[in-house]
Chain A
């Protein structure tokens, strides 16, 4: 019954999306504005129904209902409940249901909470949201029904990919999806504003919190995903330029650019067409990413569904939505005035350069990800990976970081070159100190990109704090704090990346129990190998006692696990975090004569990468709360003032 109820909820939600679209279309274009009153309740009902359908699918997974095909192929009754729960979205159908759920709930949130937008634009936005949802409902109901039954029901399921059986994975995909799909709101805003020709500062102020929210979640999702890859894959890498990682990076790059351009639009009423364009691009990148991942067209760890029919379906949806939005843009952009040009030395210019560089990186990641597909069509198989992206996107990202110091230190409208130079003095000195220190002690031992990375990281760290200089910290607005912390987070993250590439010490040994290994100031004593068993796996575990400089020894337990269903070996790295880095120990295969492979890395300051990611998201959250709170305060004061007058 639960599966049927879920399917019914999904059909109902789809019909409501159609109704919502029709109401908006007739209400706005047909001039029957009394119909528009029904749009918001319909949007809310649609959101509730998708949430119900998703909750029902979770129930099926938690109950291990083996009469449902999706549960059979992706779950197992012996799994811990957390992975039954997370297994709901660890597969194609479930993740697409999560997609429409987030879209439905986001639409309901726009219907309920959006107050700043003009009524027609608000309605057109909800129409846009319904139009996108509709396509994905059709895809779910006709090509990926998550509630399909299987008859006769097998005794038990086939299990979930063991790589995915990790607490981090319970929360990484939903966070990322909230961000991905949250960008659909920005897309719908853009479509709505193009339809009603109301692109202005008020529109930007209304759109900004939605963009910020999606961007915060994307940032968290990418950071968590990177840490997951770092400890779960067992080789100490934290970013692989894997197509699926790129698929999450591209919307983030577009959203970051959008975040900055929407600020220009809100503050100076400029960059109108460009901001609308970016809003369209950002969600388009989410859809392109989904297409790449879901179609399995680019083979990658994450492509669970290798199914060209579904790929074609998503490609058609992609064509309709992106093509439609771009056509609308082309048709209406003439009606959108761009505003006066900028002074060369102004914050506007800095933000335009920020947008330019982010867009270039986005373009390069996109072309690099798709290029192997293109050449394969011409019968030539090539690989584009880290060497290309690092070398091409790396320098541009570093240039972007330099602009990040300049931007906040430059005034809106017009500034003087000499003044900006004066404010840049302290960050430049900080960078120069690192430059000289590194040149003296590490010249020739570390690569050029990590070298520049460290120099620029410190300059950005100091520069990001400069906007607080000589200010009353208690009276500094929360959103200024947000910007400062987010920019500081970029510096922290960059420093972590550069330290990891420059100073990591790798040690691979074959050791017998009882052996001692010395590396990077650490002493590791390999004590023993013992077999242990978990809920649905067995493992060999090494007990390794580590100490540094005569400190109290700590026991580390790297494991080599074997999952029975489906049969897969995985490595569980053991990590020891210290303030200045992480010790990373992996148990490999058995070598000859009772010796075991141990892989040991000492990674100085590597944790800064994810600490930085977290700071960036925190900065975003402070900015969001700061802006919203200021809005409430202004409204509250205005009401008080009118009451006092009356």
Chain B
């Protein structure tokens, strides 16, 4: 428990240390000049998880790692890479966990089927409550 606390404190203080030691990555907080490309990058960033934070995308995180990833994504987009290709590269590097966008992997099928299942089940129950038209 104490070890965990120390680790947590270290993690919290890391950005502060980084602040004085290293300048942020070039495109961490600098937009691409072309608004269309920036929009593409931004859309992708919103679906990439910040690995050192808790439940935040890299698009809204102060962590230095999120800044590095933002910079990388912007640079790759400027180099003409497609967002889905960058996502695949990130997933290969950090695992499925890094992407908030649920993939089409079999383990996620129930997640996509859930809405249809719930709606279908609900409608079935509701139908029983409603009077049939007298013909």
Contacts and interface: CB of A to CB of B under 8 A. Distances in A.
A599 B96 CA distance: 30
A383 B99 contact: yes
B20 to A, nearest CB: 9
A189 B110 CA distance: 35
Contacts of B42: 506
B31 A382 contact: no
A367 B114 contact: yes
A381 B97 contact: yes
Contact of A364 (B19, B29, B118, B130): B118
A109 interface: no
A301 interface: yes
Contacts of A382: 96-97, 102-103, 107-108
B80 interface: no
A349 B130 contact: yes
Contact of B19 (A342, A387, A589): A589
A341 B129 contact: yes
B56 interface: yes
Given A300-B55, A382-B108, A363 B114 contact: yes
Interface in A350-394: 352-353, 356, 359-360, 363-364, 367-368, 371, 375, 378, 380-388, 392
A446 to B, nearest CB: 11
Interface string A491-522: 00000000000000011111000000000000
A236 interface: yes
B31 A508 contact: yes
A235 interface: yes
B22 to A, nearest CB: 10
Contact of B130 (A298, A344, A383, A591): A344
A479 B27 CA distance: 54
Given A380-B107, A386-B100, A591-B24, A508 B60 contact: no
B16 A356 contact: no
Contacts of A353: 126
Nearest to B30: A508
A507 B31 contact: yes
Interface string B90-116: 000001111111110001101100110
A340 B30 CA distance: 64
A523 to B, nearest CB: 18
A408 interface: no
Contact of A363 (B53, B55, B118): B118
Given A356-B122, A384-B100, A588 B23 contact: no
A597 B133 CA distance: 66
Contact of B123 (A234, A356, A387, A509): A356
Interface string B116-135: 00110011011011110100
Contact of A392 (B115, B122, B128): B115
Interface in A225-243: 233-237, 240-243
A628 interface: no
A307 B5 CA distance: 12
Nearest to A245: B55
Interface string B1-14: 10010000100110
Given A359-B118, A388-B101, 5 more contacts: A244-B55, A383-B97, A506-B31, A506-B42, A597-B24
Interface of B: 1, 4, 9, 12-13, 15-16, 19, 23-24, 29-31, 42, 46-47, 49, 53-57, 59-62, 95-103, 107-108, 110-111, 114-115, 118-119, 122-123, 125-126, 128-131, 133
14 contacts: A242-B55, A244-B55, A300-B54, A300-B55, A301-B55, A342-B129, A359-B118, A359-B122, A378-B107, A381-B95, A382-B96, A386-B57, A386-B100, A569-B62
